[in-house]
Structure 1
């Protein structure tokens, strides 16, 4: 009885767990859910986050120059050189004038454990400039991640609408197959009755084959779009995935004037801001190279003990402290070449920033034109669909009455399908262009 109760509890817990796990994954993904999943799972964002952490570590490395450096060491020396041996004996506090031949001291061992601390007093500002460059590196990495996020959101949006467009095109092709198949069946009956020509039946068979070919292409387009979308979402290719077709996105509004869009991009676009940060980083690196001409000052202190063995005694310890100032008088032109290198890197960063701005302006203009073009095509295609639907209805009635040939019916059917296809293409082109425009202005950030 107890075992049976336990098994029932386990079964209930398994059902609850299965339900909870099922609730964590949506059965149908809306565009917002797809974007959230991509932002959580796409590996490219993980790579960018790792780069941010690398930049943080580089900042920590640059800050180490502002702290004292402490080292512990143990050295061993053996010498029968009178001067060195005499110095080691004195350091070991065991000098005796009785019975010692200072010219022939024999071999002397010296062990010296010591702790040394050094502190940089002045390095021409190099440490400060390196810290500034490292801080700019963190900001640049964060902006690059924001730019990657922008691109990811845009790509997910384009792939999502691409799959929706393929699904609607697939539905049109299936509807066309049904209509042509129905007309073909009726024409075959009429042909058997001797009221329809064989050429009419053959024309409908050709039209049916073309409709089936279009249906196959649309089905493959759905698979390709879904595969691309899964990749962007960080999901395996064979993972179950469907998009929500019940929601129809509203058409975007007409874009603002170019100057207004450009001002938004210049103030918001992360790629442009990252390029400007890289220019500032190059300026700090140039400051580091130029600071090498200035003198450097370091303070140091060491504490240790000299003995003929490893035994430590406070009677033999000693302390050394001091300050050292040095300046490079001639470094084989290395400092000058480093400055030249930093100057060229600064020029390259400035040109890269200018190139980034030009590219963003081009993307902005292209997205604006695409959106305007798509919205105009939506208006035209909407009128064309209504006209094509009415023309097909009239031709179908005339066809039933035997007034027009099957060729005219096929032409009307093809015109109707093309009008619907143009309308679908224009509508989703407008939505994709809106996403491109948002990316170009830095809206997704």
Structure 2
């Protein structure tokens, strides 16, 4: 399970199989579903995987480069025999192959600094993914609490309507009995109509809040969805605002907030990128080697052969009056012959190898290297300012959240007192109205005051809980709900 409620809230609820059958969604289920299906989180995960590939590639760049090639074709007319480098004037078929290797021995530690920069960039992208998950979880929690609030308000509105309907029936009986004037009945009927309209508005607010939650979860608008109404909101633990200061919360938050951590890692990555850019100002030392061979259809090999020359008469000699023939001695003479060298023989005879060390010294390249250094310096400076601004924003957000939480607490306490006073006033008004000592307008005013006090108290309660939970999230990133 990915970062169980890492955005804002951790839900520790157990729900029954019956609730599953009714498609009941707990807060934990909503957060888990959103973390799995949210498009922005998926995009953040893709960016993280891209950074993993970039890091892997930068590590592999330290290995030697090795390339092989084969070329073959026909030449017509005057061309160069690749085996002898001499011109020939006939058709030529050639075949060649080569293997080349190059290894960077030193390049100003550019690759080392680039690898380290990519490590920090990957770690920063992981923190940004966590931040995205936190933001999504916070949005889910806000929407979920809004649904619970609208559910409570709908319940209070329905109770108000039922109370008005019951009062309407009671007033009708008293009017028929002559105990109350008919104007009271008309006032109560108007109140029932007003409460019915309020009920429709409350139902619509609940429907809209559910649609908002479905949009966050990427659920179809017609998908069955119902929140877990068994949550005991009054039993939710809240931190003691008087036991901690916003400065203490900030000191704890600055060490765990993903955005701050991502800024720090990005700053380290930019420092390494600057070091890599400076490395381009140094000479590059590299090792190279190659293997190669070739074949040409015109290549011929020559050898010396010998042939036997038969004896021939070269004269006569007279001995004692007898003429004798004189023949030459048998002898051999060299004959130069040629033959087409076969493919295997040529490839073997023409096989060549080379190895060498080279140095590339940057002298002038359009001021590219120094421009890259200045660009890296400006990127580093910009990231330093961004990190500082994000810390300032975090401090402001925490101090604002702390002030909002304390204000919400005082408002919640005030609405509780207002509700108690409104309930007492309504009880007195009900007794006086039933005795005929209070007109319908004043009675309905007291009833509406009670309803408004109830709604205000519910709104203040949920607002207080949410404000405190946001503050707890800044402090620990793990909040029990």
Pick the TM interval, shorter chain: 0.7 to 0.9
- 1:30, CA displacement in angstroms? 2.4
CA contact (8 A) 1:133 1:281 kept: yes
- Look up the SS of the partner of 1:71 in the other structure: strand
Moved more, 110-119 or 423-432: 110-119
Aligned to 2:108: 124
- Look up the SS of the partner of 2:285 in the other structure: strand
CA contact (8 A) 1:180 1:208 kept: yes
- 1:434, CA displacement in angstroms? 2.5
Higher share of residues assigned strand: 2
Aligned to 1:362: 396
Higher share of residues assigned helix: 1
- 1:187, CA displacement in angstroms? 3.0
Aligned to 1:233: 217
Q: How does the TM-score come out when normalised to structure 2?
A: 0.79
Aligned to 2:193: 209
1:321-368 deviation line (CA, Å, top 9, x unaligned) = 111110210011122221222122112211111121111112211221
**Is residue 106 of structure 1 aligned with residue 89 of structure 2?**
yes
1:354–1:152 Cα change, 3 Å: same
Matching residue within 226, 230, 250 for 1:246: 230
Matching residue within 239, 242, 257 for 1:269: 257
- Distance in 2 (CA, whole Å) between partners of 1:280 and 1:25 is 51
Q: How does the TM-score come out when normalised to structure 1?
A: 0.85
Matching residue within 281, 296, 302 for 2:284: 296
Aligned to 1:163: 147
1:103-127 deviation line (CA, Å, top 9, x unaligned) = x543665432111111111111111
**Is residue 315 of structure 1 aligned with residue 349 of structure 2?**
yes
**Is residue 29 of structure 1 aligned with residue 25 of structure 2?**
yes
- Distance in 2 (CA, whole Å) between partners of 1:328 and 1:353 is 35
**Is residue 144 of structure 1 aligned with residue 161 of structure 2?**
no
Aligned to 1:74: 70
1:438–1:77 Cα change, 3 Å: farther
- Distance in 2 (CA, whole Å) between partners of 1:258 and 1:267 is 15
Query: Structure 2: where are the runs of 5+ without partners?
Result: 1-16, 298-341
CA contact (8 A) 1:74 1:112 kept: yes
Matching residue within 55, 58, 71 for 1:62: 58
Aligned to 2:463: 429
- Look up the SS of the partner of 1:164 in the other structure: helix
- Distance in 1 (CA, whole Å) between partners of 2:23 and 2:74 is 79
**Is residue 46 of structure 1 aligned with residue 25 of structure 2?**
no
Aligned to 2:333: none
1:442–1:142 Cα change, 3 Å: farther
- Distance in 1 (CA, whole Å) between partners of 2:196 and 2:53 is 59
- 1:85, CA displacement in angstroms? 3.1
Structure ID, larger Rg: 2
1:283–1:114 Cα change, 3 Å: same
Query: Structure 1: where are the runs of 5+ without partners?
Result: 1-20, 92-101
1:201–1:251 Cα change, 3 Å: farther
